[in-house]
Amino acid sequence: MTQSVPTPTHAVQQRYRDPRPAEPAQWNQVLQVLHEHRSVRRYLSDPVPDATLRLLISAAQSAPTSSNLQVWSVIAVRDPQRKARLAALAGDQAHIVQAPVLLVWTADFARLRQLAEDRSAPLEGADYLESSYVGFIDAALAAQNAVVAAESLGLGTVYIGALRNKPEEVAAELGLPPQVFAVFGLVVGHPDPAEDARVKPRLPQEAVLHRETYDLAAQRAHVAEYETRIAEFYAEQQLAHSWTERVLARLASAAALNGRHRLRESLTNHGFRLH
């Protein structure tokens, strides 16, 4: 059976669950892939070939990088036992084990440290918080390019922020040297059609797009509208909580961060001085 291709209007409608979305002024296949993004948490055992992996990494390396520093690296983990150990460190997420490859994206200053040591050159600027930000941001930009590339090829993805729950243990498992920090994981594989992963609606643009100056008060009505729309999604996923309840619970206390409240300490332990 031939599957119908969603129209541009339908793709935007899915993203916002807006029954009357504006007709997009322009459209192309890249925009189609971006609007159809969804998190996939059930995978087939079909492998992701090395040739495909190399293509995803070249797409990642095509992302912007601050001052061309390129202060990120990625570790491709295929070994089932290593994936299982990493899954245990990340809250026993089964899709890490199911999928054929887990990509662990790192902020990586070890490469530049080595260059500086080879030349007996100073590298004081790498010890500042700004530089650490650059490593995290560059890794995120690169990974998101890889996500778009993977999904354009029919693959599924989901980010694994929970690798930051126990960063020292993750570093030991991956053999990370000082000045290399695991920022997040990215599961990549062939989606299991039985999961029927859905496009999760986002806040209305009026809640996130400000013009000229920031207006907090104007967001209230649009957030309330979003609660109604995303309730349909949660009902389909058999989730009872509202969006507001879920996000407030996620940030209610240090305990809710599942160990990530130690991030500064963990970075310091791994050679990031954060002046």
CATH at residue 66? 3.40.109.10
Number of structural domains found in the chain: 1
pLDDT in tens, the chain (275 residues): 344 455 788 899 999 998 776 788 899 999 999 999 999 999 999 999 999 999 999 999 999 999 999 999 999 999 999 999 999 999 999 999 999 999 999 999 999 999 999 999 999 999 999 999 999 999 999 999 999 999 999 999 999 999 999 999 999 999 999 999 999 999 999 999 999 888 999 999 999 999 999 999 999 999 999 999 999 888 888 877 789 998 999 999 999 999 999 999 999 999 998 98
Q: Residue 222 and residue 112: Cα distance in Å, rounded?
A: 46
In a domain, 257, yes or no: no
CA distances from residue 62 to 47, 143, 174, 187, 263 in whole angstroms, order as listed = 24, 10, 25, 20, 29
DSSP conformation class of 36: T
Residue 85, domain extent: 37-192+264-274
In a domain, 88, yes or no: yes
In a domain, 259, yes or no: no
In a domain, 23, yes or no: no
User: What angle do the packed helices 129-152 and 50-60 form, to 10 degrees?
Assistant: 130
In a domain, 2, yes or no: no
DSSP conformation class of 164: G
In a domain, 157, yes or no: yes
Q: Which residues contact 137 (CB under 8 A, 6 or more apart)?
A: 66
